Chain A
Amino acid sequence: MNPTLRLILHWLCRLALAVVFIWSGWVKVQAPLQFAVAITGYKIIPDRFAFPIATYFPWLEIALGLVILSGFKIRWSSIASAALMLFFIVLLSVTLFRGIETNCGCFGFGDRITWKTIARDGSFLIPALFLAIESRLPRRLKEFRIMDNPA
């Protein structure tokens, strides 16, 4: 891949993922009770865990977004974000299959779980997987030049 294109894609994916996680976390931090209502709606965990999860989980999302933005341990942070996205996709799919009509609670609190919601969350897997794979390759442009023009 062209190194410049790779650099642009790398930054686009990092920014996209960071914005998604920080935004998603921040919306929930502002309204932990509404998020607790959304968590309860999934009918998957006991009610007593809904509020503690609603209080602390959004900070995890924000932290993940900031780590991705900073570039620190980018491979591991992108793998973690891909795993989190996969978890969301499975959770949404299971809820939809169980016939439970509830709010997603993903990026706000008005959107019902549909296949569109699942597809949207699925689309965020692409930048996470790209970063996880790309970060294993040599990082510096200089290294690409050496690889393109071996002595």
Chain B
Amino acid sequence: MRAKIVNWTFATFLFLAVFPFSAQPAEQGSGQILGGSLDAPVRIEVFSDFECPSCRELYLDVMRRVLVDYSSQNKVCLMYHEYPLKIHRYSRDAARYAEAVSRLGKEKLLRVYDVLFMDQAKWSADGRVEASVAKALSRAELQTVKKFLQEPSINAAIEKEIKLGESRRIQSTPTWFIYARGKEQKVEGRITYISLKQFIDSALK
């Protein structure tokens, strides 16, 4: 019996010594806030590429539902970071358009995100990003966006996002950072909405 107690005590101490519990404070990053505010109990930051097929699925199947189900009630703050990969020919163009449109407000930005992801196969084949963006904007808005595109601050903003991604060791897109209950989780790849929903619901309890 005594030997068992000694064994269990040893095992417990070893466990606690090797694996200390830690809670990392949530960090505030840059990026576009698509829904919710920074004081929401759960914050999700996504590093995404407009030309990446998994990012498309993630945006259309998961992010849009999170926006409707949680961000609209400020339960989840959803942030989007541009992370155009060099292997994708037109993703930087798309990111530039998105960055420029962000200056017209969140509503327009979300419409442009929708068309960029829905038309992904089209513009990633012919490079006509503007034609897709034009579907979501009026003619006057498109002209304004084109003016914004001339500004060096557009490229600078994207470079800043890329640097932020590199500092967070992004190796592929999509990569998520989820902050809840003072802890950070990095998630690479495509998560299903049901898993994310179960996680968010458990974090909100």
Q: B188: which of A30, A37, A54 is its contact (CB, 8 Å)?
A: A37
Q: Do the beta carbons of B11 and A37 come within 8 Å of each other?
A: no
Q: Of the 9-residue stretches A69-77, A92-100, A117-125, A130-138, which lies at the interface with chain B?
A: A69-77
Task: List residues of chain B with CB within 8 A of the CB of A114.
Answer: none
Query: Given the known A-B contacts A26-B19, A70-B8, A72-B4, are A33 and B195 also in contact in the complex, defined by CB atoms under 8 Å?
Result: yes
Confirm or deny: A142 has a beta carbon within 8 angstroms of a beta carbon on chain B: no
Task: List residues of chain B with CB within 8 A of the CB of A66.
Answer: 8, 11-12, 15
User: DSSP class of B's interface residues: helix, strand, loop or mixed?
Assistant: helix
Q: Do the beta carbons of B195 and A69 come within 8 Å of each other?
A: no
Query: Given the known A-B contacts A22-B15, A70-B4, are A34 and B186 also in contact in the complex, defined by CB atoms under 8 Å?
Result: yes
User: DSSP class of A's interface residues: helix, strand, loop or mixed?
Assistant: helix
Q: Do the beta carbons of B178 and A33 come within 8 Å of each other?
A: yes
Confirm or deny: A47 has a beta carbon within 8 angstroms of a beta carbon on chain B: yes
What's the Cα separation between A22 and B12 when bound, in Å? Answer: 11
Confirm or deny: A17 has a beta carbon within 8 angstroms of a beta carbon on chain B: no
Q: Do the beta carbons of A33 and B8 come within 8 Å of each other?
A: no
What's the Cα separation between A55 and B203 when bound, in Å? Answer: 12
What's the Cα separation between A132 and B121 when bound, in Å? Answer: 56
Confirm or deny: A144 has a beta carbon within 8 angstroms of a beta carbon on chain B: no
A3-62 at interface with B (beta carbon < 8 Å) = 18, 22, 26, 30-34, 36-37, 40-41, 47-48, 50-52, 54-55, 62
Confirm or deny: A88 has a beta carbon within 8 angstroms of a beta carbon on chain B: no
Q: Do the beta carbons of A40 and B186 come within 8 Å of each other?
A: no
Q: A70: which of B7, B187, B190 is its contact (CB, 8 Å)?
A: B7
CB distance from A73 to the nearest CB of B (A): 11
**Residue of A at shortest CB range from B9?**
A70
Q: Do the beta carbons of A109 and B192 come within 8 Å of each other?
A: no
* Cross-chain pairs A/B with CB under 8 angstroms, 5 sampled: A41-B189, A47-B195, A48-B194, A51-B198, A62-B15
